[in-house]
């Protein structure tokens, strides 16, 4: 029987912006010669379900669904690499965060360690790190650590993918309040300037830094920013929200292609906005007082 491989914490390396990137090289890179380059930026808070066995299983499932429903269907055209923007606000051990290495499997990846209190700040830190794998990518997929994928990307209702991935920003379909959800953004190389020019700026309503309100601090109104700037984008119309409950303390919102974590599986301290401030049914948690996440 082959010896089990163990992984020590990798040495941190500083990017040109001063952020600390942790390269992960314990598993061989996938052979990508002749393929276009795709980067997956994972943003937000990992292990939002907790650091026990149940929480680890839930986190592993997110990465398993990305592999089977995004990476594998596109593997004949794209070679993938991960940037894991690891939000450390819970203060978990390095060993727990390094479990993400197991979940990405053979896909090359780097850690970016951040400690922020909002989605917008976390996202901005990841982009500002200057990771070459993202800067040189033909397309960047931005996913959340706490959202699993239920259907393969080819059935998300996007425009024909071969052309769309090269030319258009792709967003989920509209939701009833006139916005779009922030489950994912897909950005082609020719539109990568949106990160520096249109995201994270005051009054942009697109992951705005320094503005109050969850609507502008998340990506729900990025499409309005793109409209004003005459930036082409398309929606993947099969990513539609199911109206699952009329209870103001909704336990979860399901989508036809993705699933947000059910409130009853999350730690109370993560305080998800979509749960309506309801604390009933959350998993036990001892550390309270962190700003809301979504």
CATH number at residue 153: 3.90.550.10
Strands (E), the chain: 13-14, 20-24, 36-43, 78-87, 109-114, 139-144, 147-149, 169-172, 184-188, 233-236, 241-242, 254-255, 258-260
- Nearest C-alpha neighbor of 259 from the set 144, 142, 148: 148
d(CA 219, CA 35): 30
Phi-psi region of 213 (alpha: psi -120 to 50; beta: other; left: phi over 0): left
Residue 181 in any domain: the answer is yes
**Would 135 be classed as within a structural domain?**
yes
Question: Which residues, listed in sequence order, are joined to residue 37 by a DSSP beta bridge?
Answer: 79
Contact call for residues 269 and 91 (beta carbons, < 8 A): no
Q: What is the pLDDT along the chain (294 residues), one digit of tens a residue?
A: 433 333 333 444 444 344 455 554 334 445 567 899 999 999 988 998 888 888 899 999 999 999 999 999 999 999 999 999 887 777 888 888 888 988 999 899 888 887 777 778 888 888 888 888 888 999 999 999 989 999 999 999 999 999 999 999 999 887 766 677 788 999 999 999 888 888 887 666 788 777 666 555 677 888 888 888 888 899 898 887 665 544 444 444 566 788 776 666 666 565 555 565 544 444 543 332 233 334
Question: Does the residue 6 lie in any domain?
Answer: no
Residue 286 falls within a domain, yes or no?
no
Q: Is residue 110 part of a domain?
A: yes
292 is a domain residue:
no
Distance CA 112, CA 5 (A): 23
Under 8 Å CB-to-CB from 131, ≥6 apart: which residues?
15, 21, 39, 83, 110, 112
Task: Show the domain range for 163.
Answer: 17-237
pTM: 0.81
Phi, psi for residue 20 in degrees, rounded to 5: -105, 115
**269 part of a folded domain:** no
Amino acid 205: pLDDT? 74
What's the number of domains the chain is made of? Answer: 1
User: Per the domain annotation, does 279 fall within a domain?
Assistant: no
């Amino acid at each position: 029987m082959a010896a089990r491989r163990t992984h020590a914490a990798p040495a941190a390396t500083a990017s040109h912006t001063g952020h600390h990137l942790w390269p992960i090289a314990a598993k061989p890179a996938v052979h990508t010669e002749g393929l276009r380059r795709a980067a997956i930026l994972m943003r937000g808070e990992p292990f939002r379900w907790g650091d026990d066995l149940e929480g680890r299983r839930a986190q592993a499932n997110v990465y398993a669904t990305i592999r089977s429903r995004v990476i594998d269907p596109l593997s004949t055209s794209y070679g993938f690499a991960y940037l894991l923007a690891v939000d450390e606000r819970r203060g978990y051990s390095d060993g727990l965060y390094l479990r993400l290495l197991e979940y990405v499997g053979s896909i090359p990846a780097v850690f970016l360690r951040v400690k922020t209190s909002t989605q917008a700040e976390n996202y901005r830190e990841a982009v500002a790190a200057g990771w070459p794998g993202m800067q040189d990518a033909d397309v960047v997929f931005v996913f959340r650590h706490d959202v699993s994928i239920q259907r393969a990307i080819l059935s998300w209702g996007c425009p024909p993918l071969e052309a769309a991935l090269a030319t258009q920003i792709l967003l989920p379909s509209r939701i009833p309040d006139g916005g779009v959800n922030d489950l994912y953004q897909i950005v082609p190389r020719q539109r990568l300037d949106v990160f520096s020019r249109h995201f994270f700026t005051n009054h942009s309503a697109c992951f705005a830094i320094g503005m109050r309100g969850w609507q502008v601090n998340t990506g729900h109104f990025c499409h309005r920013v793109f409209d004003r700037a005459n930036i082409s984008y398309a929606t993947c119309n099969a990513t539609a929200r199911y109206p699952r409950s009329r209870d103001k303390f909704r336990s979860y919102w399901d989508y036809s292609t993705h699933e947000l974590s059910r409130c009853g599986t999350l730690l109370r301290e993560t305080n998800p906005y979509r749960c309506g401030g309801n604390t009933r049914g959350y998993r036990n948690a001892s550390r309270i007082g962190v700003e809301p996440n979504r």
